[in-house]
């Protein structure tokens, strides 16, 4: 029994060391753990004595990890992560409904325009489930937990992971009907060059453009450049100019008008570690994602190209991103009472 108690104490000391390292000081760690600073100091002293080495150097500004401290922190991070996962698995296995948070990573446009509007049903039907949506916009300020499920374009196979194609995104040039009424509708890709272009710096469509204009993105006047898909989408909707966008957005914003031909599709895959797919909270999110990108009811996600003009029969008078196969689907208001769509200005497609 004494050995069990000693090891439990060791684990507590490691947890306190982790808090000190992450918070950058003893007082900050004490506030985070809601204990006295003396408790933190004593635990750190005990751990350093047991390891016979200094893990931190204490300064007036806080603490600085020694080389041994950096090595210890790397190990303790793994331990903390394993403990958190164990707690989640135990909670999930005992729960009658999915419990806990699921961290899901995707591009900002997919997160804002396609997933967030569809979260309503998922969260209403699973009140103990939380979603952490990591859109990767701020690499210096990441989500607290690594992604358990990822939506990845053109995913490469990774040992131990499931990588399952879930949708195909067809890109084309788009502007709004109102914009073309003011400035004229292009009758060719070349003619589109006379209009301002909104350029997404992470988007590379040149290789898939029709051969007659192989360098469209280089020739077009880049009136706006941004690394945000949402900024591109909102700029087009506001009437700034044209942009390359996925055709799925025409199912959300019928005022968008496609110019020219669509490009070869990009494959979107669902990626997750095969060991977690039976955990209830993971399982319910995977099922929800398959419904969000259901190619049978949403032809814009199919490999074969379906032009936006053919979307209407599949919308069925319903909000396109909320058709999840479970729960009541919100119907559109009659045309005379239709409320204008709220335009998201902080994440993109």
Q: How far is CA 145 from the centre of its chain?
A: 12
Range(s) of the domain holding residue 206: 98-349
- Per DSSP, what are the bridge partners of residue 104? 133, 149
> Is 251:292 a contact under the CB 8 Å cutoff?
no
CATH for 348: 3.40.190.290
81 and 142 part of one domain: no
Share of the chain above pLDDT 90, in %: 43
Which pLDDT score is estimated for 209? 47
Backbone dihedral angles phi then psi of residue 49, each to the nearest 5 degrees: -65, -40
Beta bridge partners of 198: 224
Instruction: Name the average pLDDT for the chain.
Output: 80
What does the pLDDT read at residue 210? 47
- At residue 321, the pLDDT reads 43
Going by C-beta distance under 8 Å and a sequence separation of 6 or more, which residues neighbour residue 250? 174, 256, 258, 300, 308, 311
Number of DSSP helices (H) and strands (E) in the chain, helices first: 13, 12
Range from 49-63, 202-216, 229-243 carrying the lowest mean pLDDT: 202-216
Point out the domain boundary residue: 45, 67, 93.
93
Looking at the structure, tell me whether residues 125 and 274 fall in a common domain: yes
**What pLDDT does 219 receive?**
73
Who has greater pLDDT, 209 or 201? 201
Instruction: Name the more confident of 325 and 309.
Output: 309
User: Per-residue confidence at 336, pLDDT binned at 50, 70, 90?
Assistant: very low
Per the structure, the count of domains in the chain is 2
> Per residue in 228-282, pLDDT tens?
899 999 999 999 999 999 999 999 999 999 998 888 899 999 999 988 988 999 9
Predicted confidence at residue 257, as pLDDT, reads 94
* pLDDT at residue 168, rounded to an integer: 96
- Quick one: pLDDT band at residue 343, thresholds 50, 70, 90? very low
CATH of the domain at 21: 1.10.10.10
For residues 174-179, give the mean pLDDT.
95
- Bigger pLDDT: 337 vs 97: 97
106 and 58 in one domain? no
Give tens-digit pLDDT for 70-84: 999 998 888 888 887
Of the three residues 44, 64, 93, the one that is the final residue of a domain is 93
Same domain, residue pair 72 and 128? no
Q: Mind listing the pLDDT tens digit for each residue in 183-194?
A: 999 887 788 888
pLDDT tens, residue by residue, 36-53: 889 999 999 999 999 999
Using DSSP bridges, classify how beta strands 149-153 and 129-134 pair: parallel, antiparallel or unpaired: unpaired
**Tens digits of residue pLDDT in 268-323:** 999 999 889 889 999 999 999 999 999 999 999 999 999 999 998 888 644 444 33
What is the model's pLDDT at position 137? 65
Give the integer Cα–Cα distance in Å for 263 and 247. Answer: 10
Q: Please give the backbone phi and psi of residue 62, each rounded to the nearest 5 degrees, phi first.
A: 145, -135
Query: In terms of domains, do 266 and 217 share one?
Result: yes
pTM of the entire predicted model: 0.63
Q: What is the predicted pLDDT for the residue at 335?
A: 32
Q: Which among 68, 93, 118 is the end of a domain?
A: 93
| Residue 27 CB-half CA count within 13 A | 5
The answer to whether residues 289 and 149 touch, using CB atoms and an 8 Å cutoff, is: yes
Instruction: Please answer whether residues 228 and 108 qualify as being in contact, where contact means their C-beta atoms are separated by less than 8 angstroms.
Output: yes
């Amino acid at each position: 029994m004494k050995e069990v108690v000693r090891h439990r104490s060791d684990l507590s000391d490691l947890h306190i060391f982790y808090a000190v390292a992450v918070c950058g000081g003893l007082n900050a760690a004490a506030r985070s753990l809601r204990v006295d600073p003396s408790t933190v100091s004593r635990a750190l002293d005990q751990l350093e004595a047991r390891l016979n080495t200094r893990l931190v150097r204490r300064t007036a500004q806080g603490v600085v990890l020694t080389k041994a401290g950096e090595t210890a922190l790397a190990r303790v991070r793994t331990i903390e992560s394993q403990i958190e996962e164990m707690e989640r698995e135990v909670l999930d296995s005992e729960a009658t409904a999915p419990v806990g948070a699921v961290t899901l990573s995707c591009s900002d446009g997919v997160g804002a325009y396609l997933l967030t509007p569809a979260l309503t049903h998922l969260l209403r039907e699973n009140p103990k489930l939380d979603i952490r949506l990591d859109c990767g916009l701020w690499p210096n300020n990441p989500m607290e937990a690594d992604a358990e499920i990822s939506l990845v374009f053109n995913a490469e196979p990774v040992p131990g992971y499931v990588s399952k194609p879930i949708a195909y995104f067809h890109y084309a040039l788009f502007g709004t009907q109102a914009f073309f009424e003011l400035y004229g509708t292009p009758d060719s890709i070349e003619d589109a060059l006379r209009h301002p272009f909104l350029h997404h710096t992470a988007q590379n469509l040149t290789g898939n453009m029709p051969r007659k204009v192989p360098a469209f993105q280089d020739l077009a006047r880049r009136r706006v450049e941004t690394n945000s898909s949402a900024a591109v989408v909102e700029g087009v909707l506001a009437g700034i100019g044209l942009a390359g966008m996925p055709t799925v957005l025409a199912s959300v914003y019928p005022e968008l008008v496609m110019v020219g031909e669509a490009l070869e599709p990009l494959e979107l895959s669902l990626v997750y570690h095969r060991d977690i797919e039976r955990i209830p909270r993971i399982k319910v999110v995977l099922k929800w994602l398959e419904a969000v990108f259901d190619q049978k009811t949403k032809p814009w996600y199919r490999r074969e190209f379906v032009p936006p003009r053919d979307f209407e029969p599949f919308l069925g008078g319903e909000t396109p991103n909320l058709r999840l196969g479970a729960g009541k689907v919100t119907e559109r208001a009659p045309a005379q009472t239709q409320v204008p769509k709220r335009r998201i200005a902080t994440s993109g497609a």
